[in-house]
């Protein structure tokens, strides 16, 4: 009876437990990407905003219990805004517009306040009691779930430590070099009339096997890298007409806990990661604003995050864009590429050791924005508005930036071979082709036609073909480097765009 009385009288309990439930529930779904200690800052921010909204409701309703219920409804709508939007996309698409959902939020505030003003306080006791019990139950469930995750994760870490004893055999250094959105020479000539054969000639003269008919496995970076680092297709994607936000997070999980780094670690490799992704075995050495910010996953479906993200970089909210990670400018890309290249080149010159290296370098070029021209002159500057680069009018800028990229690609390849005395494995590729979206004359192949070339000291490239895809090239590398017998898969490209 005392417990029931406590729940009935604690008019503010449910409105403050709601953010706790939301944050715990989100972390339990994405614990593999977010550090638990990072939740406290997020929780504090949501609680602070909830208190602000509660204060406004109190000023209007002049009653703590009524204000708490109104605040609960409004915060619930804001926290789960993205889920509501996505469900409407699937079932009632004409309602999935921010203007409609924001109008609904305003109506919820006005109508909710009006109804609560008319209702007597004692009529809300049972409802308050119900909300309190419901939120306490939900929070207890999430706490138990969190404890289970911690226990399971600790056991997994201990098991990995036991099973990861380095081997004594000497293996070659392995370099996976991704140049984002680098199209194949075949596609560049066929689709844009651009002759990039000089890069193929450079690679061939350096001993590379150039796959002139190559295609990426996916047209999205995260899916391509997930399949590349796991040398397999990314399974478990939602069977719908496009990629969902959930699919995106699944691919990031596969990247973080990828099979390649795990295999390398177990064979005594030292892992070097110069990319936009953090991994469990090796966090990225290139810390910058572009790096996939795992903490933002927790609030990615909230109203404010969705509005800032969907309505574009032109919105005048620099402070919010900084917090939500959408304040990305040309300077962000410039700093990232310069740092990634500088660190990569510095590390390959480190004094040779008996520990083999496995390095993954990811360079955001010739990926837009096209920040340099062919003469290395800056095109975009910090805070300059960046446009939709996937329109065909930007093709000349892409091709000019490609020329700039080629000079850096050649430098990286030349230095890598030199410092390894040509005794290393190098796989250089584009994660997908150049994605021009508004030219119906282009076949879908242009999304996938990527640069792809492999260097093996043994020159044993069979059974790879001119149209082999990255999953099979990676399997060939593993079979050669570690004397494995992985079967080769059917080469395939999966056309999967956005669904949100």
The secondary element (H helix, E strand) that includes residue 54 is helix 39-61
Distance CA 186, CA 433 (A): 11
Cβ pair 323, 346 in contact under 8 A: no
In angstroms, rounded to a whole number, what is the distance separating the alpha carbons of residues 491 and 474? 12
Task: Decide: 281 and 359 in contact? Cβ < 8 Å.
Answer: no
pLDDT digits (tens, 9 = 90+) for 302-329: 888 888 766 655 555 555 555 545 556 7
User: What DSSP line would sit under 371-406, residue for residue?
Assistant: -B-TTS-B-S-TTPPP--TTSGGGHHHHHHHHHHHH
> What are the pLDDT digits (tens) for 185-194?
999 999 999 9
User: Residue 391 to residues 5, 23, 331, 379, 397: CA-CA distances in angstroms?
Assistant: 63, 39, 22, 17, 11
User: DSSP character for 118?
Assistant: H
Residue carrying the six token digits 């282009």: 442
Q: In this structure, are residues 180 and 170 in contact, taking their beta carbons and an 8 Å threshold?
A: no
- Confidence tier at 498 by pLDDT (50, 70, 90): very low
pLDDT, residue 499, reads: 35
* Range with the largest mean pLDDT of 215-219, 253-257, 341-345: 341-345
Give the whole-angstrom CA distance, residue 22 versus residue 71.
Answer: 15
Q: In whole angstroms, what is the distance from residue 173 CA to residue 158 CA?
A: 28
pTM, rounded to two decimals = 0.78
DSSP classification of residue 244: -
């Amino acid at each position: 009876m005392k417990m029931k009385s406590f729940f009935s009288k604690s008019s503010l309990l449910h409105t403050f437990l709601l953010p706790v439930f939301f944050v715990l529930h989100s972390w339990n779904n994405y614990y593999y990407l977010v550090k638990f200690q990072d939740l406290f800052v997020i929780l504090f921010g949501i609680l602070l905003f909830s208190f602000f909204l509660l204060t406004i409701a109190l000023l209007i309703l002049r009653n703590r219990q009524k204000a708490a219920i109104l605040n609960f409804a409004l915060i619930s709508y804001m926290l789960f805004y993205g889920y509501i939007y996505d469900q409407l996309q699937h079932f009632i698409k004409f309602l999935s517009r921010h203007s409609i959902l924001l109008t609904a939020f305003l109506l919820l505030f006005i109508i909710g306040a009006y109804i609560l003003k008319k209702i007597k306080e004692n009529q809300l006791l049972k409802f308050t009691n119900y909300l309190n019990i419901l939120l306490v139950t939900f929070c207890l469930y999430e706490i138990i779930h969190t404890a289970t995750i911690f226990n399971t994760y600790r056991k997994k870490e201990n098991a990995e430590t036991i099973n990861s004893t380095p081997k004594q055999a000497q293996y070659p250094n392995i370099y996976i070099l991704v140049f984002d959105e680098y199209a194949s020479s075949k596609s560049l000539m066929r689709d844009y009339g651009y002759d990039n054969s000089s890069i193929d000639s450079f690679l061939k003269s350096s001993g590379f096997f150039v796959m002139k008919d190559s295609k990426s496995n996916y047209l999205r970076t995260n899916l391509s890298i997930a399949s590349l680092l796991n040398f397999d297709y990314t399974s478990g994607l939602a069977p719908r007409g496009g990629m969902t936000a959930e699919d995106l997070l699944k691919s990031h999980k596969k990247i973080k806990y990828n099979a390649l780094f795990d295999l390398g670690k177990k064979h005594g490799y030292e892992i070097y990661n110069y990319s936009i992704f953090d991994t469990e075995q090796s966090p990225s050495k290139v810390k910058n604003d572009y790096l996939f910010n795992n903490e933002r996953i927790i609030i990615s479906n909230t109203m404010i995050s969705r509005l800032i993200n969907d309505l574009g970089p032109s919105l005048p909210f620099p402070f919010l864009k900084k917090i939500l990670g959408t304040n990305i400018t040309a300077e962000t890309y410039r700093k990232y590429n310069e740092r990634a290249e500088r660190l990569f080149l510095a590390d390959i010159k480190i004094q040779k050791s008996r520990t083999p290296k496995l390095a993954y370098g990811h360079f955001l070029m010739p990926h837009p924005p096209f920040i340099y021209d062919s003469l290395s002159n800056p095109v975009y500057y910090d805070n300059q508005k960046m446009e939709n680069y996937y329109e065909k009018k930007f093709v000349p800028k892409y091709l000019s930036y490609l020329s700039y990229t080629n000079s850096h690609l050649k430098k990286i390849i030349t230095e890598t071979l030199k410092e390894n005395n040509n005794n290393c494995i190098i796989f250089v590729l584009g994660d997908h082709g150049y994605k021009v979206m508004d030219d119906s004359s282009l076949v879908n192949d242009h999304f996938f036609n990527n640069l792809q070339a492999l260097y093996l000291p043994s020159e044993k490239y069979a059974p790879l073909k001119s149209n082999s895809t990255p999953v099979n090239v990676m399997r060939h590398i593993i079979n050669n480097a570690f004397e494995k017998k992985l079967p080769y898969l059917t080469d395939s490209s999966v056309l999967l765009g956005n669904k949100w």
